[in-house]
């Protein structure tokens, strides 16, 4: 049975939003521009200060949010080549990316991998009115440290570096990470 959520009073709407998990918030934000604006304004008024936003790049690239209860993956960026066409997905073509929801969170498929990574960071930080708290990256995403430190006032609280077998990271790059 449908529930006309947008016809509920603002106080009820805020209560419902506060009961949703971060991944459900992100998924709901893709329903319409109106809902996206509504969620953003909710978090402008009530910043979820107890949530910590992490950017994780190990194999896949995703944004996770650590709440008081758990750590939840909320959105992921992937290359369009990784998009399986069978079974036929319900696609929503938007500007430069394709949205698909598998299981409990949304995947965005991009032609340009770096643009995709930047876009999901922008999307999640704008939606939740949060800065990136920490990074978990491999040698291919060292650029993200400077990029994130430039786009937010707060410094990153931590960077976890994952070493993949076969990676040959120059000393210079390691120095950069350690600095």
Partner 1 sequence: MSSTEQGTSSAAPAEPTTAPESAAAPEVPESFYYVHGKDKVVHKVSAGALQHSALIHGMISNLGYTEEQAKANPFPFENIDGDILQMVVDWCNQHKGKPTPPEDTNLPKQKEKLFDLVLAVNYLEIKELLTYCCKQVAMMVKGKSPEEIREIWMIPTDAEDEAAEKEAKKRAGKEAAGETAAAAGDAK
Site residues for partner 1 per CB under 8 A: 1-9, 11-12, 15-16, 19-20, 24, 27-28, 30-35, 90, 92, 99, 101, 103-104, 106
Nearer to partner 1, 33 or 85 (CB): 33
Closer CB to partner 1, 1 or 170, in the complex: 1
> What are the percentages of helix, strand and coil residues in the chain, rounded to 5?
40, 25, 35
Phi then psi for residue 144, to 5 deg, are -65, -30
Give least dist CB 54 to partner 1, A: 22
- We find the least distance from the C-beta atom of residue 25 to partner 1, in angstroms, to be 10
Query: Are the C-beta atoms of 54 and 97 separated by less than 8 Å?
Result: no
Shortest reach from residue 30's CB to partner 1, in Å: 4
CB of 60 to partner 1, least distance (A): 19
Residue number, 92 or 115, with CB nearest to partner 1: 92
Rounded distance between C-alpha atoms, residue 67 and residue 51, angstroms: 5
In DSSP terms, 110 is beta-bridged to 79, 97
Q: Which residue has the tokens 């000393």?
A: 171
């Amino acid at each position: 049975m449908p529930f006309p959520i947008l016809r509920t009073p603002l106080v009820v709407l805020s209560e419902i939003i506060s009961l949703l998990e971060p991944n459900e918030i992100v998924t709901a934000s893709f329903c319409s521009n109106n809902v996206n604006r509504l969620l953003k304004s909710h978090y402008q008024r009530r910043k979820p200060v107890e949530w910590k936003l992490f950017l994780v790049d190990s194999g896949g690239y995703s944004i996770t949010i650590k709440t008081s209860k758990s750590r939840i993956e909320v959105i992921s960026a992937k290359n369009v080549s990784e998009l399986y066409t069978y079974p036929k997905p319900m696609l929503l073509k938007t500007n430069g990316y394709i949205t698909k929801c598998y299981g409990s969170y949304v995947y965005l498929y991009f032609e340009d991998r770096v643009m995709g990574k930047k876009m999901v960071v922008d999307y999640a930080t704008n939606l939740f009115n949060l800065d990136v708290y920490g990074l978990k990256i491999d040698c291919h995403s060292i650029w993200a440290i400077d990029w994130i430190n430039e786009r937010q006032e707060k410094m990153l609280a931590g960077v976890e570096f994952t070493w993949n077998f076969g990676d040959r990271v120059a000393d210079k790059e390691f120095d950069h990470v350690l600095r």
